[in-house]
Chains A and B, each alone.
Chain A
Amino acid sequence: MTLKQAYDATLFSGLPFEPPHTAVEKDAAKTLRQLRNFHYYGILEPGTQPGPAGVPALLHPYLDLGSVRHDYPVCLDEQAGATVPVQSLTQLMDELIKHTAAAGDEGERLKRHVYQLESVIRKLTETGAAAGLLGLWDLAAKSLTGAAQHDRDKQDLLRENLSKARRLIKRDLTVLGCEGGVAERILRAEAAADWRVRCADWRKELAALMQQLQDILDADFNQSPEARSANHLSKSSGTTDHEIDFGELSSILAASKQDFRLPAERRSRITETLQTLKRVQPIFAESSAGQTLPFALPAICASAAEALHRQQEIMGAMTDFFRAVNIARLEAGNHYRETVHDAYFKGYAVNHLTENELRLCPQVMLSLRSSQLDKSDCALLLDILNSAAAIKTLLQIDDLTNDAPALGGLLGWTARLGNMALALANGYILQTSVSRLNLLQSGIQAGLKSDGPALFCVYAGGSENRSALPAYLDAAAATESRVLPAFTYDPARGDTLKVRLEIQANPQNDQVWTCESFAFRTATGDDAAIELAFTPADFLCCDRRLAGQFWDVPAALWHEQMIPLQDYLAQGREAARSGIPYLRTVDEEGLIHRVAVTRAVVATVLQCLSAWRHMQEVGGINNSYTAHQVAQEKARLEAEQQAAIKALEEQYSRQLDQDLGQLTEEIVQRIASQLVQGATGVVQAAAGVTARIARPAVKEAAPAVEAAEPAAPDKAPAADEDEEGEAVSLDAAYIETPRCTTCDECTKLNPLIFAYDSNKQAFIKDAAAGPYKDLVKAAEKCPVKIIHPGKPLNPAEPHLDDLIKRAEPFM
């Protein structure tokens, strides 16, 4: 029996647990020496193996990803005319549930059935089952309905609900798990959809323009001798009989005037223009498959050099095309003047293209992998990012850690590629991990819509050097740990950094680290929860190559100087120096480990922290300039306020002195006059003066309102009924269902008339399903008197007069 089994057999919590108390190494100084040797120099006692155990504690609850609703697998619609090219399976299922419009118990049951199916499809995708959505749906449905866990009725319900939902799926979709290459597939699908939308209107305009040119050529041809030849006339008549003598007709027509021919140069220009248009037109078609094009579409290149070459090729062809378009427009309106336009069109080049025309040029897609980048690619990539060329670059970051840390850093430069591009401040930039599907999708869409270059830095996760974490969690951990913060930079959004840079997609973006509560069971068997931060160290400890930087400290060596990394970081450097930072990890059995980390890991964590703080500042969070400005402004306002208070006090004091002076004078005068008039008035005078000096008393609070008598005056029942606002017919039988106590009296009396609703409370199912007698009897027996029998439906029922009389009290 394992420790986990022992634990489960007794406490049934399923929570991660701390190891039970074990004998602690008695020589604490020796333990501390071992821990310090490892932390500072990465040295362990002979025979001790470094390396973490399990996964970071916060990742542990999510390891069984198949059971968790998340954004993968993703469904791609790669067919022509796709309106929603990319959506997660979760979104799709929620849409289906919404569209079935089932409510109440039925709706809830359908929802759970669809969720069950979703879970099976997710697991099938994880195991690499290859099929479209409909294929996977059928496979999953078969597996679910085949499971012998339900009785026949429930299986029928399950089958019925699943087919109801399946009928709502109109198109088969490609289902992809979170795996290598998914970002490129999403880019392809989004680019195809973006292109379809981009040229939807232009497609019609171009067809009309070409038709106009063709009409001019046709009209010209009809004036030609070839159009009047017997052979052509015979073909164009469409008849097969020989009643018409086309030879004769041709000779008659040949005799007519032929002076409306186009000049040869114009004809040749129009013909050439039309040919150019026809050559490029297929790229604007709904589906361009199988067409011969002047360049390859979709143009996804594998190297920067190829992308640049493809860009030049496309722009050359599109310059010719738009030159032809402009000539065609002039020709269609008969505005082409050779003396003016020949010279203009002779020198027609890329810089002649307007913004709208540039938007109608196919974009070049460049897909690079960080592991295969060489120096020439890097240099060219910088050129691309610094140019105005609409090359959309997807850079899939395969690895964030440095496999040859010669310079000491554990993170590779690819982790900061997005930040480097940000420094160029040119073109659209997206940095995210593949797990953030919404950001990835919206970022790619915005990047494709932008006019200039775009860079999509996407961490795919799940490389062979990482531990056995699912790719999704690995990718998510990169963003969650601040190793690869997510952001978008879009110059099209405005002129200021505030609107251009967006870092909101980062979890808890106003905090230093992302924190979550970690519930576990302590060594004494109590449930506990602590707030844990997910730091870059948690991300790094999942890398096999960095095993030497982590040490799973046996419980016997746990020392009081060991402190959690997040606390270590929160302390000042001097205070933290004596401590040994550690991470909490959880192994497969749920046992909690403490993993000590080296100084190199701490340095990398601090490096990431610095980069994240920088990102926060430029993103407008905890900005030091703003904070300084706010502090200055606050100090100024406070000073102004203090000055105003002081001025008021001085004014008040002056006024008070003045008033007192006046009053004293007045008192003296009055007393003097009273003394003159007689002693009797002294008291009154003094009282009057006192009243004037006294400041107005604070208005007394209104006496507390007495609590209303709970027993309100009785209202007539009729008034209550009016308040209900619903006219209840006294002729029809009814039950006040919410007041039903489920006592079974009525349902046992006549189950055809009375039934229970989903809350097991009675209602009139069918008043005509039984005699009036039963309604009256039920009303009499009902312990809470909520059955109202109404008027009898059958006038022929025996003893009706008596029954109506008995029913009267319940009307």
Chain B
Amino acid sequence: MFGLNDNCSIDQDQEYLTLEDYQGRVSRWCAGCGDNGILGATQRLCRDEQLPREKTVFVSGIGCAARFPHYMNTYGFHGLHGRALPIAQGIKMRRPDLHVFVNMGDGDCCSIGTAHWIHALRANMDLVVMLHDNGIYGLTKNQASPTTPTGLKTNTTPRGTMLRALNPLTVTLGVTNASFVAQVGEWIPDLLFEVLKQAFHHKGLSFVRILQRCPHFTPELYNALLTNPDNIVLLTHEKGMQIGETTAKIYKRQEHHDPSDLNRARELAEMSDRVPMGILYRNEEIGRYNEISRSGILPTWERRAEVLESAFDRFGIQASAAE
């Protein structure tokens, strides 16, 4: 328009940010921890999208994964156990211009934070939620979490866990308004990055379950997937994931899955013999609470004063009555 060049862009004179610019403190996660890979992929995403650091927030609860905001050179909120999602929702509600990411462990999200998880999915606000699922409470040294596999001996289950592990995918896909559900393993960097990228661009809450190993307590949790890539089914689709050549060579078992097919997504999530990786479900038609809940009334100072006055008037004492 107006004869301006095709390459005209208002943001091009901004400083270019490298991956290092997004690095916060030096990570204190154990060597071999899957959190490092998730951090690297997230930093790569921030760099490729050139997210302004002052407009990006990472919110976490409690646990190993919850140290994530410390290692990002952006804004962050290290919250209370299980409460990352309500904090993130509050941030997004008040500051819709910010990019809000949420990092939770399996204990954080699927145990103490379960209610918030369900309702955050239902509210479907524009957040990227990463579930770092290593199947154990690692920070507090080896207690069983809801996703700990049956039979694993931990400090709280010395005779081995008796219950079947919770499947976060089937739970998420069963919640009203869930709009983006994906699963990926932290040991497949290309796939992890691609899934996070798609999650970032999704309008609504993007729930990404990331299978990761704890090098101390569950180092062999996903050995079956690591040693035999045929146990993994990569979900590809022109509307979903595009897989790189290298990844496609290793993971030959692929399924052409349309992410708008909720029924098939639920079937895939429930598979017991193989593990699906990629985008299971995506639907951008679902309303986002922060958008549909707008009153349309501007909170000007005058309006605020009016509301406060009317509230105070309910408790005020009339001068004439006092006399």
Neighbouring B residues of A480 by C-beta, 8 Å: 1-3
Closest B residue to A120 using CB positions: B13
Is there a chain B Cβ closer than 8 Å to A351's Cβ?
no
Neighbouring B residues of A720 by C-beta, 8 Å: 249
Q: How far is the CA of A437 from the CA of B5 in the complex (A)?
A: 11
Contact B9 A69, beta carbon cutoff 8 Å: yes
Q: How far is the CA of A326 from the CA of B219 in the complex (A)?
A: 97
Is there a chain B Cβ closer than 8 Å to A663's Cβ?
no
Contact A712 B4, beta carbon cutoff 8 Å: no
Q: How far is the CA of A738 from the CA of B299 in the complex (A)?
A: 50
Q: How far is the CB of A711 from chain B (nearest CB, A)?
A: 6
Closest A residue to B9 using CB positions: A69
Neighbouring A residues of B320 by C-beta, 8 Å: none
Is there a chain A Cβ closer than 8 Å to B31's Cβ?
yes
Closest B residue to A433 using CB positions: B3
Neighbouring A residues of B9 by C-beta, 8 Å: 68-69
Contact B13 A67, beta carbon cutoff 8 Å: yes
Q: Among the interface residues B27, B40, B41, B297, which one has the most CB atoms of the partner chain A within 10 A?
A: B40
Neighbouring A residues of B250 by C-beta, 8 Å: 739
Q: B292-322 CB contact bits vs A (8 Å, 1 = yes)?
A: 0011111111000000000000000000000
Neighbouring A residues of B217 by C-beta, 8 Å: none
Interface-facing stretch out of B79-87, B155-163, B186-194? B186-194
Is there a chain B Cβ closer than 8 Å to A188's Cβ?
no
Neighbouring B residues of A433 by C-beta, 8 Å: 3
Q: B164-193 CB contact bits vs A (8 Å, 1 = yes)?
A: 000000000000000000000011111000
Q: How far is the CA of A277 from the CA of B96 in the complex (A)?
A: 78
Closest B residue to A88 using CB positions: B5
Interface-facing stretch out of A107-115, A406-414, A653-661? A107-115
Q: A5-28 CB contact bits vs B (8 Å, 1 = yes)?
A: 011011111000000110000000
Contact A70 B8, beta carbon cutoff 8 Å: yes
Q: How far is the CB of A731 from chain B (nearest CB, A)?
A: 24
Contact A59 B2, beta carbon cutoff 8 Å: yes
Contact B40 A477, beta carbon cutoff 8 Å: no
Interface-facing stretch out of B14-22, B58-66, B145-153? B14-22
Q: A781-803 CB contact bits vs B (8 Å, 1 = yes)?
A: 10110000000000000000000
Q: B95-134 CB contact bits vs A (8 Å, 1 = yes)?
A: 1110000000000000000000000000000000000000
Q: How far is the CA of A473 from the CA of B27 in the complex (A)?
A: 51
Neighbouring B residues of A748 by C-beta, 8 Å: 31
Interface-facing stretch out of A523-531, A557-565, A768-776? A523-531
Q: How far is the CB of A433 from chain B (nearest CB, A)?
A: 8
Q: A10 with B1: in contact, given A741-B34, A744-B32, A760-B44 (CB under 8 Å)?
A: no
Enumerate A31-49 residues with CB–CB distance to B below 8 Å: none
Contact B1 A6, beta carbon cutoff 8 Å: no
Is there a chain B Cβ closer than 8 Å to A3's Cβ?
yes
Q: A68 with B10: in contact, given A112-B16, A743-B31 (CB under 8 Å)?
A: yes
Among B7, B44, B252, contact of A759 (Cβ-Cβ < 8 Å): B44
Q: How far is the CB of A42 from chain B (nearest CB, A)?
A: 30
Q: How far is the CB of A500 from chain B (nearest CB, A)?
A: 24
Contact A476 B3, beta carbon cutoff 8 Å: yes
Among A6, A436, A761, contact of B300 (Cβ-Cβ < 8 Å): A6
Q: A707-727 CB contact bits vs B (8 Å, 1 = yes)?
A: 000111000000010000000
Q: How far is the CA of A68 from the CA of B6 in the complex (A)?
A: 11
Q: How far is the CB of A173 from chain B (nearest CB, A)?
A: 19
Q: Among the interface residues A480, A523, A738, A760, which one has the most CB atoms of the partner chain B within 10 A?
A: A760
Is there a chain B Cβ closer than 8 Å to A281's Cβ?
no
Neighbouring B residues of A10 by C-beta, 8 Å: 298-299
Enumerate B251-295 residues with CB–CB distance to A below 8 Å: 252-255, 291, 294-295
Is there a chain B Cβ closer than 8 Å to A320's Cβ?
no
Contact A745 B5, beta carbon cutoff 8 Å: no
Contact A12 B96, beta carbon cutoff 8 Å: yes
Is there a chain A Cβ closer than 8 Å to B67's Cβ?
no
Q: A746-765 CB contact bits vs B (8 Å, 1 = yes)?
A: 00110000000011110000
Q: How far is the CB of B309 from chain A (nearest CB, A)?
A: 17
Q: How far is the CA of A205 from the CA of B41 in the complex (A)?
A: 68
Q: How far is the CB of B297 from chain A (nearest CB, A)?
A: 7
Enumerate B176-217 residues with CB–CB distance to A below 8 Å: 186-190, 213, 215
Contact A115 B40, beta carbon cutoff 8 Å: no
Contact A20 B297, beta carbon cutoff 8 Å: yes
Q: How far is the CA of A166 from the CA of B97 in the complex (A)?
A: 37
Is there a chain A Cβ closer than 8 Å to B37's Cβ?
yes
Enumerate A242-269 residues with CB–CB distance to B below 8 Å: none
Contact B2 A62, beta carbon cutoff 8 Å: yes
Contact A740 B189, beta carbon cutoff 8 Å: yes
Is there a chain A Cβ closer than 8 Å to B12's Cβ?
yes
Contact B252 A710, beta carbon cutoff 8 Å: yes
Q: How far is the CA of A197 from the CA of B31 in the complex (A)?
A: 69
Neighbouring B residues of A77 by C-beta, 8 Å: none
Q: A742 with B189: in contact, given A3-B300, A783-B32 (CB under 8 Å)?
A: yes
Contact A476 B2, beta carbon cutoff 8 Å: yes
Query: What would 19 more interface pairs be, CB under 8 Å, given A62-B2, A118-B13?
Result: A11-B96, A62-B4, A68-B4, A68-B10, A69-B4, A94-B7, A109-B16, A473-B2, A516-B1, A524-B296, A526-B296, A710-B254, A739-B187, A739-B246, A741-B37, A742-B40, A748-B31, A761-B189, A783-B226
Interface residues of A (CB under 8 A from B): 1, 3, 6-7, 9-13, 20-21, 58-59, 62, 64, 67-71, 90, 94, 105, 108-109, 111-113, 115-116, 118-119, 150, 154, 433, 435-437, 473, 476-477, 479-480, 507, 514, 516, 523-527, 534, 710-712, 720, 738-745, 748-749, 758-761, 781, 783-784
Interface residues of B (CB under 8 A from A): 1-5, 7-10, 12-16, 18-19, 27, 29, 31-34, 36-37, 39-41, 43-44, 95-97, 186-190, 213, 215, 219, 226, 230, 233, 244, 246, 249-250, 252-255, 291, 294-301
What are 16 A-to-B residue pairs whose CB atoms are below 8 Å?
A3-B298, A6-B301, A62-B1, A62-B2, A69-B8, A70-B4, A112-B14, A473-B2, A480-B3, A524-B294, A738-B244, A739-B189, A743-B37, A745-B31, A783-B215, A784-B226
The 7 closest A-B pairs by CB, nearest first: A524-B296, A742-B40, A741-B37, A476-B2, A112-B16, A760-B40, A119-B13
